[in-house]
Amino acid sequence: MLSFENDYSAAACPQIIARMQQVQNETHPGYGTDDYCKAAAGKIRALCDNPESDIWFLTGGTQTNQVVIDSITAQYAGVVCADSAHINTHEAGAIEATGHKVLALPQQDGKISAPQLDDYCERFNADTNHAHMVRPGCVYVSQPTEYGTVYTRAELAALAQVAHDHDMPLFIDGARLGYALTCDANDANLDDLARIADVFTIGGTKVGAMFGEAVVFTRGNTPENFTALVKLHGALLAKGWLLGLQFDTLFTDDLYFQLSKHANAQADKIRQALLDKGYDIAFVSQTNQIFITVTRNRAQELQQQVKLGFMEAVDASHVMLRICTSWATTDDQVAALIALL
């Protein structure tokens, strides 16, 4: 059975596995206070060209989103995002469980726009009953989006400006950030994100690591007692040095970017084959996620031989499926999938 279901099915890239074996007899202090975490943070800080940034390493994507949003959002406020955003669709109410309502706006190709955000905030403020409503308290976007599309640097800067005009921080979820940074459509690099966002994440789980996400607070603006907040949410790893080791490896010799480029290149081959064969591609994406609309019968035929991600029912007879490549996707696997298509 071929697997193009997601980008985290394989354990970890060989370099990380080898590094873990090399250090298996070492001992380190816990909770991210070790030298590996410090080294990894230094490398990320240098790539961000931002000496004021604070770097933290957490366990997984949902925990990280929950911790960050809860820490930067007032108790009485919610988080504004696209209605397709991961925090709104596939995180089981984790954000709402912290007491912050998810305020979802209609997406266009997975994105929200600065004018759309400004209009929402202006309408909220103009409502004479807004004291009884959930106030927009922060803005969440993901890079790339849930549909594999990418925000431009100008789009992100415009969102940040509107967010700041309305006294809200901008949080960029980078669970798949590597695939955005290395795709042909991208013009916003790590140093741009460090200038634009108040906080963003660099995903490891979906980009070659065994597990882990890096959180970057860009202005020395880490919330007070952040370690306690991370632990409160169950996202603080006692063996934090395992996170540091993985990110130190990923950000040595451009490995993070090489792994991401590989996944995008494999996706490009599949994308071209889909176009050649006349498939209905739902979104114009240049990252590692491809979305196709097929009949339910065709979906069943494909899924007998290849694992694909189910996204949504389009209508009574059609569904949207996701094809996802990763750092581990081989040429042979791509060729086999194209033959099935």
In percent, the amount of the chain with pLDDT more than 90 equals: 99
Residue finishing a domain among 219, 240, 255: 255
Please name the amino acid found at residue 237: L
On whether both 232 and 319 belong to a single domain, the answer is: no
* Adjacent-strand bridge partners of 173: 142
Who's near 111: CB < 8 A, 6+ residues apart? 82, 141, 145, 149, 151, 155
On whether both 143 and 86 belong to a single domain, the answer is: yes
Residue finishing a domain among 255, 270, 297: 255
On whether both 250 and 336 belong to a single domain, the answer is: no
On whether both 115 and 22 belong to a single domain, the answer is: yes
For residue 201, the domain's CATH number is: 3.40.640.10
On whether both 65 and 136 belong to a single domain, the answer is: yes
On whether both 221 and 267 belong to a single domain, the answer is: no
On whether both 278 and 143 belong to a single domain, the answer is: no
Number of domains the chain is built from = 2
For residue 298, the domain's CATH number is: 3.90.1150.10
Please tell me the distance from the alpha carbon of residue 174 to that of residue 61, in angstroms, as a whole number. 9
On whether both 272 and 236 belong to a single domain, the answer is: no
Q: What is the mean pLDDT of residues 262-280?
A: 97
Region of 120 please: left (phi>0), alpha (psi -120 to 50) or beta: alpha
Residue finishing a domain among 239, 255, 271: 255
On whether both 249 and 269 belong to a single domain, the answer is: no
Q: pLDDT tens digits, residue range 282-329? A: 998 999 999 999 999 999 999 999 999 998 899 999 999 999 999 999
Locate 60 and state its tokens.
């997984």
Please tell me the distance from the alpha carbon of residue 232 to that of residue 239, in angstroms, as a whole number. 17
Pick from 36, 8, 39, 40: which is nearest to 22 by CA?
A: 36
On whether both 249 and 292 belong to a single domain, the answer is: no
On whether both 192 and 304 belong to a single domain, the answer is: no
| Domain range enclosing 327 | 2-7+256-340
pTM for the model stands at 0.97
Q: pLDDT tens digits, residue range 60-93? A: 999 999 999 999 999 999 999 999 999 999 999 9
